[in-house]
Chains A and B, each alone.
Chain A
């Protein structure tokens, strides 16, 4: 796992991909910060954090599209899967490499907390809760992205398919606020990454929702491992 993690992390910054990802992410987030916090002179950063959640739809596909697709295309998967390493270790290495790049990008947004602190008092408990929630929700997106990339050797297809899935999740969230049936509502609640973020957005730290995110990420990592193991039989 460590070898793959190190290699992938290095590869993000050996190509423009890592920088493009961080730049795209920061442009969106700082735009949101300017429009909500600076323009309205508010100390409530929750708007920015919710924007991050929406930004994931666009930026995570950039981050994960190459993950396994590129290995298939360059045939380096033959190297990985004939090495004395478990498929789960390889997938985890890839997942955490993408995740680390995301964490690096997210770290830059901490500056905003300092800016707010310079002119007012940010609600630090809410800020901390939001960061934890973003980190957990991003794990779900990245796990889905890695999973999609394990299905195709074409990066572009991987990126577009992930984007499609993320937009689908967003639509489910919109559907949630439109339907009246409580049964449908509770089903939608289970698949909506956004709904669960609302508790954090309001400044409440919910263990249940945190566990939900972590387990959803684990499910997609598990599915990715299964896809790879299945490939051997095809």
Chain B
């Protein structure tokens, strides 16, 4: 559905993206993961025809975005990082304008627009001025705009940024529901978001794709279950001694005394080994109860370090 080959875009001397290539099949939900400035937005802007690449090509449904932009753009709904809203319009007026702008002919206007409003949860705010909506609702209007005309492809640039946790979950659910019938690319710099929504992840850093895989395969890096924060009741020396005897634990140290008679410990496992069960067994045997266990999320930077390191090792 989407094919990108050797896309390069430079801003003056600075390289935005460098020979980015990937292909996305129909109905896939693909996450575009990378830190700020990695080239996510640039890639999306090229695919949607907002920017032109210096070299390489992008195809949507087999149509070259540069050669036949009108036909290609008709297939795409785009939610840019900052939703492109006209503050002086009501939601209703805005969606009607989008309907005209996209020259939608095959759908019934009123029915289509109210269907979209219901889908993203805007029905109660349909007659309100966009200026007066909260950030979460503005984001929904942005998403609604992308859906006008039922495009086959949705490109969403950081759709959950700036929303509160409840709104994030709602928007994610909307995206998941949309993904049943559409091809979706969404970008994010939040690791959990990818594992929550996407079937496939493209990791981009410094303008290059450094990983293309299922979230499960990247999960040891993405979910960060290699590092645990564990609160254990009992004498510190005894706990550390027990921990260090467990197979698969590479490193353990006490961080703070969190409660009376209990310390928090940072425990790191050898790669690809789940240490939670053996650790529980060993501590139980020693009569040292676990009060709490949390997986420490790796920061995006750590994931990149790992990915870059593993890529370097392969070479």
Q: Which residues of B contact A181 (CB under 8 A)?
A: none
| Interface check A14, CB cutoff 8 A | yes
Q: Which residues of A contact B11 (CB under 8 A)?
A: 234
Closest CB-CB distance, B289 to chain A, in whole Å?
Answer: 54
Interface-lining segment among A55-63, A75-83, A155-163, A201-209? A75-83
State the total of A-B contacts with C-beta under 8 angstroms: 72
| Interface check A226, CB cutoff 8 A | no
Q: Which listed residue, B74, B85, B88, touches A11 by the CB 8 Å rule?
A: B88
Instruction: Name the CB-closest residue of A to B78.
Output: A82
Q: Which residues of B contact A85 (CB under 8 A)?
A: 70, 101-103
Q: Which residues of B contact A15 (CB under 8 A)?
A: 88
Given contacts A11-B86, A79-B84, contact A2 B100 (CB under 8 A): yes
Contact with B along A57-95 (1 / 0, CB 8 A): 000000000000000001111111111111000000000
Q: Which residues of B contact A74 (CB under 8 A)?
A: 84-87
Given contacts A74-B84, A78-B84, contact A84 B78 (CB under 8 A): no
| Contact assessment for B101 and A81 in the assembled complex, using a CB-CB cutoff below 8 Å | no
| Interface check B82, CB cutoff 8 A | yes
Complex alpha-carbon distance, A145 and B49, angstroms: 27
| Interface check A233, CB cutoff 8 A | yes
Q: Which listed residue, A3, A75, A81, touches B100 by the CB 8 Å rule?
A: A3
Q: Which listed residue, B49, B84, B85, B101, touches A3 by the CB 8 Å rule?
A: B101
| Interface check A20, CB cutoff 8 A | no
Task: Give the size category of A's interface with B.
Answer: 20 to 34
Contact with B along A1-21 (1 / 0, CB 8 A): 011101100110011000000
| Contact assessment for B50 and A78 in the assembled complex, using a CB-CB cutoff below 8 Å | yes
A197-234, CB < 8 A from B = 232-234
Q: Which listed residue, B71, B82, B89, B101, touches A83 by the CB 8 Å rule?
A: B101
Q: Which residues of B contact A81 (CB under 8 A)?
A: 49-50
Q: Which residues of B contact A232 (CB under 8 A)?
A: 49-52
Complex alpha-carbon distance, A14 and B80, angstroms: 25
| Interface check B251, CB cutoff 8 A | no
| Interface check B76, CB cutoff 8 A | yes
| Interface check B145, CB cutoff 8 A | yes
29 contacts between A and B (CB under 8 A): A3-B100, A3-B101, A7-B89, A7-B97, A10-B93, A11-B88, A14-B89, A15-B88, A75-B80, A77-B84, A78-B45, A78-B78, A79-B80, A79-B101, A82-B48, A82-B49, A82-B50, A82-B73, A82-B78, A83-B73, A83-B101, A84-B73, A84-B103, A85-B70, A85-B102, A86-B70, A232-B49, A232-B51, A234-B11
